[in-house]
Amino acid sequence: MVSLGKPSTRRLIEELKSVVGDEYVIHRDEDLLVFEYDGSVDKALPTAVVLPADTNEVVSVTKLAATYSIPITARGAGTGLSGGAIANHGGIVLALTRMTRIIQIDAENMTAIVEPGVVNIDLSTATAPYGLYYPPDPSSQKVCTLGGNVAENSGGPHCLAYGVTTNYVLGLEVVLANGSVQWFGETTREVGGYDLRGIMVGSEGTLGIVTKIAVRLVKIPEVVRTLLAVFNNVEDASLAVSDIIAAGIVPAALEMMDKLCIRAAEASVPAGYPQDAGAILLVEVDGLSEVTDEQVADIIHVCNKHSPIEIRTASDNIEREKLWAGRKGVIGALGRLAPNYYLVDGTVPRTRIMDTLKGVEKISKDYELPIGNLLHAGDGNLHPLILFDERKPGDTQKALEAGGKILELCIQAGGVLSGEHGIGMEKQEYMPLMFTDDDMTSMAKLKLAFETNDILNPGKIFPTGSSHVAIPQTGAISRTGPDAFI
């Protein structure tokens, strides 16, 4: 499609209104402020925000963007933590939050077809009467959307046993940069051929715009057992994590919190965490009653080898929810200690958790900044939270440098740059730590194959050309408070 040159802003607004209607085009500066950032604090003001109602309107807006070579950035609920939904090149933000239909629930085949604006937890609520649910559960699941989950290949506490988003996506309806509509994958089963569905999941909106998602569902487990294991230090807790997995036990969730997180969470919720603990593990198993009873006994046996202070099993759902409330509310609770945090999302082999956390502790001392550690420990996904005060001269730069050192530490340990939050703007300059120039050139060729003309969420994932040392990432800096989560 040939570009006709950039239209005036007024003309563009009028053409967009002709597609979706006046009330669904946001263009006044004071209204655009809501869309200039996501869960991070990187900011960029789009020219306009468009809220389409269906695939046909997405097609029309995309064709318009292609005609004028205007960048277009798809956006869900804006809860992302890597700057992925920020229109850093301006242009159109395509907010898909009106597309909230659960089109089909096929209980017999245990599948569903949904639109991208469906909130994660709403799908499980809708499928519960059929005895089914959708396992990937980001901590923001009460607000994040499935389209955003697909874009970032989101994980969550229960993805240790159940897997991440890509394990549950069977097929996708995708609008490409030229406005054509393609279906990748299937609606009820896996298919042969190139896995274009797999390529699209986690591509952060740079290859196409997802307008329908076919997902796999699973049966609600018969029982759920939740344990709290309390340790004197992170070393003992880390060894317990490794030994649980080495014993062949794969819990539904295996979370770790250090003493800084424990004290903040307990002062805020409270969840019943001992405040004198050095670390806690929150372990959950589910399935048939007999099987889970055996797993609970095995986990307790393993934990007892590492001198726990206490091991407690939730007696009912109320206590279980209370334990999880502390875990999911810990970032908001850290607001009691500092007004800002920089969240690092890296993954290391489980056997290297202890060594990596020692390295994080040293970085904390070197930069004189407190760092709380919250982990999806079962799969080695670390979330060090660097606390600082942006009002204090030099604090922000120190936090950024410390975050970079932690990412380098993860890579040196044999890990990866991101466990679940994506690359976006936050980690793009750190890609050379993991990939060679040839690797990135090969990946970049996908944009050519999909003929994106670089209008789909440009400026994300790949380095902009500056050294990762010269440009620290800022995408995960945010403010602590009750709405913060991972």
Determine the pLDDT at residue 1.
Answer: 53
* Residue 289 sits in the same domain as residue 239: yes
How many independent structural domains does the chain possess? 4
* Residue 287 sits in the same domain as residue 241: yes
Determine the pLDDT at residue 465.
Answer: 54
Determine the pLDDT at residue 279.
Answer: 97
Whether residue 316 is contained in a domain is answered as: yes
Burial letters 240-264, b for 16+ CB under 10 A, else e:
bbbbbbeeebebbbbbbbbbbbbbb
Q: Which of 36, 60, 95 is the last residue of a domain?
A: 95
Dmax over CA atoms of the chain, in Å, equals 70
Q: Which domain holds residue 273?
A: 223-328
* Residue 207 sits in the same domain as residue 271: no
pTM: 0.90
* Residue 360 sits in the same domain as residue 470: yes
Determine the pLDDT at residue 459.
Answer: 93
Q: Which of 328, 348, 382 is the last residue of a domain?
A: 328
What residues have CB less than 8 Å from 369, skipping those under 6 apart? 386, 387, 388, 395, 398, 399, 402
Determine the pLDDT at residue 478.
Answer: 42
* Residue 45 sits in the same domain as residue 177: no
Query: Pairing mode, if any, of strands 477-479 and 371-376?
Result: unpaired
Determine the pLDDT at residue 450.
Answer: 95
pLDDT digits (tens, 9 = 90+) for 231-265: 999 999 999 999 999 999 999 999 999 999 999 99
Determine the pLDDT at residue 175.
Answer: 98
pLDDT digits (tens, 9 = 90+) for 310-321: 999 999 999 999
The whole-number mean pLDDT for each consecutive block of 10 residues of the chain, a chain of 486 residues, reads 71 97 96 88 89 98 96 95 92 98 97 98 98 94 96 92 95 98 92 92 97 98 96 96 95 96 90 93 96 96 97 94 89 85 90 95 97 94 93 92 94 94 90 92 92 95 60 41 46
